[in-house]
Amino acid sequence: MMEREARHQARTAVVTGAGGGMLSGLLGGGGGAVMIPLMTGVMKMRQHVAHGTSLVIIAFSALAGGITYSLQEQVDAGLVAALVAGSVAGAYAGARGSTLVPGLRLRQILGVFLIAVAFRLLLIRDITPVFSVDGLAEAAIAGAIGLVGGLASGALGVGGGSIFVPALVLLLGVGQHEAQGISIWVIVFSSAMGGFTHYRQGTVDVAAVRWIVPAAVPAGVAGSLVATQLDARQLQLLFSIILIGLGIQLLATATRRLRRGDKQAILLAETTPV
C-alpha cells in the first residue's frame, strides 16, 4: 500500500513539474496555475506550503526557459535588470505579508483587470505603446512594472508573468516574444527571492522540490522552444486566452468565497501563482 502511494506521488510530481515547466516556457510565466492545484488537491499540501514550494520550482524551470529565450536572442538585458530591481523587492515584501493581505477583494479587482488587458491584446492588432521613451525613463517604468508584478506574485500568488508581459507590450511597445523572454528572466530572480523567504519561514516541501524539478526543467526548455517558433500574433492570442482563464478563475473563486461569508478566507489571501 505504501509502495503504491509512493508511486502515485512520484507520478503526480512528474506531471506537476512537466505541466508547470511547459506553461512557464511557453508563456513567459511561472507555471503555478498547473502546479498549485495538483499540490493542494492530489499531494495534499497546505496552501502556503504549495505556494512556497512552487516558487522554488519556478526558479529552476524559469532559469532553463530563460536560457533558451536568450539563445534565440529574445531578451533585452537592460529591461531585465530594471524589472528585477523592482520585482525582487516586491516579491520579498509580498511573501512576508502574504498572510496579512485582504486577498479576496484584491483578487477580484485583479481578475477583472487581467480580463480587460487580455481583450485589449486580442482585439487590437497594431498596439500603440502608452510610453515612447528610452534610457532612464524606460528603466523607471520597467522598475515600476517589476514592483507591481513582484508584489502580486508574493502576496496574491499571481505569477509575475501575467503582469510583466502585457505591461511590457502595452506600456513600452515590446514585442510579444521579447516580452516573454524578459518576463521569464525576471521571474527567475523574483521567484528565487520569494522561494527563499518561504523556505526560511518553513513553507517549502523540500522533498517535493527534489521530485518535481527534474521534470520541470526540461519542460521549461521545451515550452520556450515552442514559443520561439510561433508567430508573434499566434503567441499573443494564446497568451490572451490563458490570461482570460486566469482572470475568470481569480474572479470566480474570490467571489464564491466572499458569498459564503468565510471570515477567515476574507482575511487571508489564498495563493495560486501562475
Report the distance separating Cα 53 and Cα 56, nearest Å: 5
Report the distance separating Cα 214 and Cα 223, nearest Å: 15
Closest C-alpha among 274, 188, 179, 184 to residue 236: 179
DSSP alpha helix (H) spans, 72-203: 77-96, 103-123, 135-151, 161-172, 176-200
Residue 271 is predicted with a pLDDT of 44
Cα 271 to the center of its chain, rounded Å: 11
The identity of residue 113, as a single letter, is F
Residue 270 is predicted with a pLDDT of 45
**How many angstroms separate the Cα of 32 from the Cα of each of 84, 101, 226, 264?**
20, 20, 19, 23
**Cell numbers representing residue 18 in the block:** 512537466
Per-residue confidence in pLDDT tens, the chain, 274 aa? 556 666 766 777 788 888 888 888 888 877 777 787 778 777 778 878 888 888 899 899 999 999 999 988 778 889 999 999 988 788 777 767 656 655 677 777 778 878 888 887 787 666 777 788 888 999 999 999 998 887 876 666 566 788 888 899 989 999 888 999 999 999 888 788 878 888 998 989 998 898 899 999 999 999 999 988 888 888 888 888 888 888 888 788 888 888 876 544 444 444 444 4
Burial 44-76 (b: 16+ CB within 10 A, else e): ebebbbbbbbbbbbbbbbbbbbbbbbbeeebbb
- Whose cell is 512537466? That residue is 18
pTM given for the model: 0.79
